[in-house]
Structure 1
Amino acid sequence: MTVDPFTALAVTLRDNAVNKTKEVLSGVAVELGTITASGLKLDRFKHEIGDYYVAEFPGTLKLPELKLAGTVTGLKDSGGGGVQGKGNYSFEASETKESSLKLEYKPGDRVLVIPLNGGHDAIVICKVVSRGG
């Protein structure tokens, strides 16, 4: 049975995020907030935080062997003519050290936040979405 590499990647990233979050959050209260055009607004703090921190997840990216099918365009043959069509692509398992998952947010995104210094500073841990999507 072939394992879907994208599912495997998503599970690995999720597990890494959960483990790192557990380390960081032991004994710390967290709350929800919303990214705004100019900063971060915590649900239980009346002032917007203009300059906030964003969690980054450093580590090693491990990808399983991967086989994909797709369309080929833009290649040239030996005579300079265009080549196109369908093809199969195989990638060997790989490991990339010193990788980092850096999350980016846009205004309106709901986020999980660790408030610091009485709510004057904050670390955004992740985006929060409803179970339905």
Structure 2
Amino acid sequence: MIRTLVVASLLLAGCSPADTPDPAPRSTAPSDRSAASACSRVALSIEKNNPPVEDVSTAMLAVESTDPGVREAGKKLGPAAKEAGDLWVADDPAVDKGPANQRVADARQGLLTACTDLFGAYPWPFVRGVSPTPR
């Protein structure tokens, strides 16, 4: 009823409904802030090739997500990041860090895939400071 009155008053005023201003744009912030933060951080980690110690907090954010895919990817990233981070911090030249780093890379990619499943194609509008193509 109210909508009919609005359209009728616009028509009487010489305006068509197409001339009416668009409503305010929707916010680009997603409702699952934990997933958005984890996704932003993993994209930055991949883009900037950050050390694995930074992925531990990314994994904790992902585990808090309401999305099951992001949550499961975070559960895989956490242990891989801790192991690789411990090796990175110890900086023992006698230890082969390659396998641990590969597990982190695989877990990062898994989280990025879960994020793409949740938010669509990368880049997402809520990520700042990242180039369009993560490596």
- Higher strand residue share: 1
Structures share fold, TM-score greater than 0.5? no
- Higher helix residue share: 2
Structure whose CA Rg is larger: 2
**Which category of TM-score, normalised to the shorter sequence, fits these structures?**
under 0.3
Query: So what's the TM-score if we normalise by structure 1?
Result: 0.24
